[in-house]
Amino acid sequence: MSQMKHIDNIPSTPGKYKIEKSPYNRLRLQFSLSKIIFWSLVFVGLIFVFFYRSPNSVSNVSSDLSRRSLRTSSYGGPVWEKKIKSSAKIRSKNGICVLVTGAAGFVGTHVSAALKRRGDGVVGLDNFNDYYDPSLKRARQELLERSGVYIVEGDINDVALLKKLFEVVAFTHVMHLAAQAGVRYAMENPGSYVHSNIAGLVNVLEVCKSVNPQPAIVWASSSSVYGLNTKVPFSERDRTDQPASLYAATKKAGEEIAHTYNHIYGLSITGLRFFTVYGPWGRPDMAYFFFTRDILKGKSIPIFEAANHGTVARDFTYIDDIVKGCVGALDTAKKSTGSGGKKKGPAQLRVFNLGNTSPVPVSDLVSILEKLLKVKAKRLVMKLPRNGDVQFTHANISSAHKELGYKPTTDLQTGLKKFVRWYLSYYGNGKKSAQ
């Protein structure tokens, strides 16, 4: 209020504001100028020290990103284009042509394989960073290559590469799954979330809005957007303005960014809120995966528990169910309406929960693993850390059921059996172990 008064005291027409020219005033002016310069230098110095010393500072983002070995891709040339065109070839009637970002990732690999199997054209894009063991990503790549899916090695922040891909192939759809995943890692490397989940998403949308014809976009949001929401089961209409982690906040930001690109450019965009997806070829940073590894090694596993011995539970969703949801979203996506970077009419904007509708306590997940692995786990019950984890998730999937025909059919017991079978065969019956 007092500041307001101060501003009000200054005449609105600057020319009418008479500055007295006494030597005392000049001296005072010089003195305050040098004071301003002095404090500005101190301020700049402080910023400098902060950015170069703080472990999580933005200046460290580049080193963190390079630690995740983002390669600058070399691309182009007739051989490269031929591979892409062959991978993009549609082999079924009414097939679609999809660019899958994050194709060497867990969900990306399964979705790419499913699309290829039914005769769609599929081209993958992945930067093969080392957030987790890149050899697993390479193995997924081999799997996809054997089924005819080529993965371009490059980053979603490489706009020139994205543009080039659209020059070579007129993709009808983009399945945007490339992201920095993981709830807890966001405290270690916040910059990587901004880089992939915000800057990367914007780059993908920028390119999609400017190509002709614009593709329809389906992308991975997350159940974590519900954050501290306590109303269960989580419905798409519930509030999502209380994220509990930076990961969740970047996914929520992504949903708002999607709204903007839909509104301004007429891009057809569908966001899918995945609920703790698990299964064969999964992510080693996820609990079910490293619990399996550590139970087999005889290492103790930390099991989180909420205040007053409260149960921590997740709506674990099996990968094959998620793939059906992704394909359903692609198949029901309407065309984007814009062209030449301009909106021509209203376009489709959707968001769906893809969960299993039956939350399971983490301790029950461990019991299932014990039975499947025939090894007793060394349980270390710990307080739920305050670093992004929420106590439970539970999806209401009626909207996805109605619009996408989504109907999950795999319970945790059945899904984990398939995961354990894969784990033991991939890591040689546990002799070789996941990193």
Ligand X SMILES: O=C(O)[C@H]1O[C@H](OP(=O)(O)OP(=O)(O)OC[C@H]2O[C@@H](n3ccc(=O)[nH]c3=O)[C@H](O)[C@@H]2O)[C@H](O)[C@@H](O)[C@H]1O
Backbone angles phi, psi at 350, to 5 degrees: -135, 160
Q: How many residues appear in the chain?
A: 435
Cα–Cα dist 245/410, whole Å: 28
Cα–Cα dist 223/209, whole Å: 27
Structure tokens at 91: 């082999």
User: How far is it between the farthest Cα atoms of the chain?
Assistant: 91
Q: Considering the complex, state which of residue 3 and residue 308 has its C-beta at the smaller distance from ligand X.
A: 308
Q: Considering the complex, state which of residue 209 and residue 283 has its C-beta at the smaller distance from ligand X.
A: 283
Nearest approach in angstroms of CB 319 to ligand X is 12
Q: Which of 141, 214, 223, 250 binds ligand X (CB under 6 A)?
A: 223
Structure tokens at 429: 């019956």
Binding span for ligand X by CB under 6 A among 59-67, 204-212, 217-225, 416-424: 217-225
Residues 375-404 that bind ligand X (CB under 6 A): 389
How far is CA 101 from each of CA 39, 149, 189, 282, 289, rounded to the nearest angstrom? 47, 12, 21, 17, 23
Q: Are 271 and 236 in contact (CB under 8 A)?
A: no
Does 182 contact ligand X by CB under 6 A?
yes
Binding span for ligand X by CB under 6 A among 131-139, 220-228, 230-238, 371-379: 220-228
Q: Is 24 a catalytic residue?
A: no
Binding span for ligand X by CB under 6 A among 19-27, 72-80, 270-278, 323-331: 270-278
Does 107 contact ligand X by CB under 6 A?
no
Q: Which of 119, 148, 284, 302 binds ligand X (CB under 6 A)?
A: 302
Catalytic residue among 131, 150, 247, 278: 247
Per-residue contact string for residues 310-329; x = within reach of ligand X by CB under 6 A: --x-x---------------
Cα–Cα dist 282/136, whole Å: 9
Residue type, 427: Y
Q: Considering the complex, state which of residue 116 and residue 350 has its C-beta at the smaller distance from ligand X.
A: 350
Does 303 contact ligand X by CB under 6 A?
yes
Residue type, 45: G
Does 224 contact ligand X by CB under 6 A?
yes
Q: Give the catalytic positions in this structure.
A: 247
